[in-house]
Amino acid sequence: MTVLVVLSTDTHSTGTFTMVGSVEIVLLALCVLEAAASNPTWQDVTLKRRQNAEGDIRLVNGSTPLEGRLEVYRDGAWGTVCDDTWDYVPENAQVVCRQLGYRGGEARTNVGWSPYGAGSGSIYRFGCGGRENRLVDCDLVRGGGCAHHEDVGVRCDPQTDGTKRMVDGPTEFEGRLEIWSGIRWGSVCNIGWHPDNAQVVCRELAYSGVTSVDGETDYGQGRGPTWTDDIICNGDEDELANCNFQSNPDRDCSGGDIVGIHCTPYEDGQVRLVGGPSELEGRLEVYHNGQWGVVCNRKVDEDIATVVCRQLGFSGGSHARAHAFGYGHNPVWMDNVRCTGNERKLTRCRLSEFVELGDEICFSWEGMGVRCDP
């Protein structure tokens, strides 16, 4: 077993990690758990740390993990994707980058040759609507000839440094904690992790609390680097960036001690903004009966946005036109809502009772958008 610690401050080597709120962690170590006699690169090593699963995708032959030739794992083997229609169907690349954990992206094609080289194996043709979470959820297009010199490439947009997510859990409330730094996601070493940290993470991800903190055996090791700095929270911070950080470059996290978190599910009536460029704006969704749903945009007034933004901890806001932040694919939970602007929660407004599935009198594409003031 070989442990590789990266000391460079080059962002491609994860030497410096900048959290949201301008908190800088000088040195986060990358624990590599496998090494071969051929001295493989970190990309080669990290791809071996989890078995491939049906529907996995990857970008290969790119200069960074953000770009490369698109390959999809189907029927026990990697194959490529034909570039037909990808130039004028941007939803395809959006789905790919969403599945890989990036913000968005675009297809890379060239007439007569693949921009990242020709692949091998089967060639697939997909057509996406843009709402899918995985490429294999898109339509598999039959027919049409395509050769490997037409393999499509994708270039994705990076997340903001310090963005967090929980992955590989059975529900959206739990999973392995990963934090974005530079150009990739990384796990967090469980050694030195404090229980109050999980409370802050769950709060920042808009969950109501934390149920438990688990280890690597529950959610897997992950493929990216492992951040090893000490993070010390009191438990009442709004985000992890407000906690104290202590550099610990010599920590050996090669034993697979990775932070996993199980958060308490959302509360009925909780609201969120999704599909926007920042936490300040997006499509309004409300949680009810174990599922997120939209609020119908018809006959809406500015007081609704004021109440929603106050509930989210912002100073105020305004509503945006229907489907300004995407159509959404969840049920319609509210319609004809009327607020005075003084309510503390959306569920305190008049005519804000939940409608039942099948009884909606408007469509999800009429969902309300909201823009909040800091």
Which domain CATH number covers 363? 3.10.250.10
pLDDT at 368 over 70: yes
Q: Out of 216, 238, 264, pick the residue that ends a domain.
A: 264
Q: Out of 213, 240, 264, pick the residue that ends a domain.
A: 264
How many Å apart are CA 146 and CA 4, to the nearest integer?
41
**Amino acid, res. 252:** D
State the average pLDDT over residues 196-214: 81
For 236-263, the pLDDT digits (tens) are 888 888 888 877 666 677 665 788 898 8
pLDDT at 3: 29
Q: Is residue 293 part of a domain?
A: yes
pLDDT at 155 over 60: yes
Q: Is residue 16 part of a domain?
A: no
pLDDT at 72: 96
pLDDT at 353: 61
Q: Do 168 and 191 sit in the same domain of this protein? A: yes
Q: Is residue 24 part of a domain?
A: no
What is the gyration radius of the CA atoms in the chain, in angstroms? 22
pLDDT class of 299 with cuts at 50, 70, 90: low
Q: Is residue 39 part of a domain?
A: no
Q: Do 179 and 214 sit in the same domain of this protein? A: yes
Q: Do 200 and 280 sit in the same domain of this protein? A: no
Q: Do 145 and 222 sit in the same domain of this protein? A: no
Query: pLDDT: is 46 or 143 the higher one?
Result: 143
Q: Do 281 and 367 sit in the same domain of this protein? A: yes
**Proportion of the chain above pLDDT 70, given as a percent:** 75
3-state secondary structure of 200: helix
Q: Is residue 258 part of a domain?
A: yes
Q: Do 235 and 249 sit in the same domain of this protein? A: yes
Q: Do 274 and 369 sit in the same domain of this protein? A: yes
When divided into structural domains, the chain yields a total of: 3
Q: What range does the domain containing 338 cover?
A: 270-373
**Amino acid, res. 347:** T
Q: Which residue has the tokens 């992950």?
A: 222
For 70-101, the pLDDT digits (tens) are 999 999 999 999 988 888 888 889 899 989 88
pLDDT class of 363 with cuts at 50, 70, 90: low
Structure tokens belonging to residue 173: 């409330």
Q: Is residue 241 part of a domain?
A: yes
Per-residue DSSP letters for 335-372?
-S-B--S--SSGGGSBT-PPPPTT--SS-GGGB-EEEE
Query: pLDDT: is 116 or 323 the higher one?
Result: 116
Q: Work out the mean pLDDT of the chain and round it to a whole number.
A: 76
How many Å apart are CA 351 and CA 298, to the nearest integer?
13
CA distances from 102 to 137, 143, 234, 279, 361 (A): 18, 31, 30, 16, 35
State the average pLDDT over residues 254-274: 82
Q: Out of 264, 290, 309, pick the residue that ends a domain.
A: 264
Q: Is residue 50 part of a domain?
A: no
How many Å apart are CA 105 and CA 118, to the nearest integer?
21
Name the β-bridge partners of 212.
262
Q: Is residue 26 part of a domain?
A: no
For 313-356, the pLDDT digits (tens) are 898 888 887 667 776 666 788 877 888 889 989 988 876 566 65
pLDDT at 229 over 90: no
Q: Do 122 and 176 sit in the same domain of this protein? A: no
Q: Do 337 and 277 sit in the same domain of this protein? A: yes
Q: Do 336 and 285 sit in the same domain of this protein? A: yes
pLDDT at 154: 94
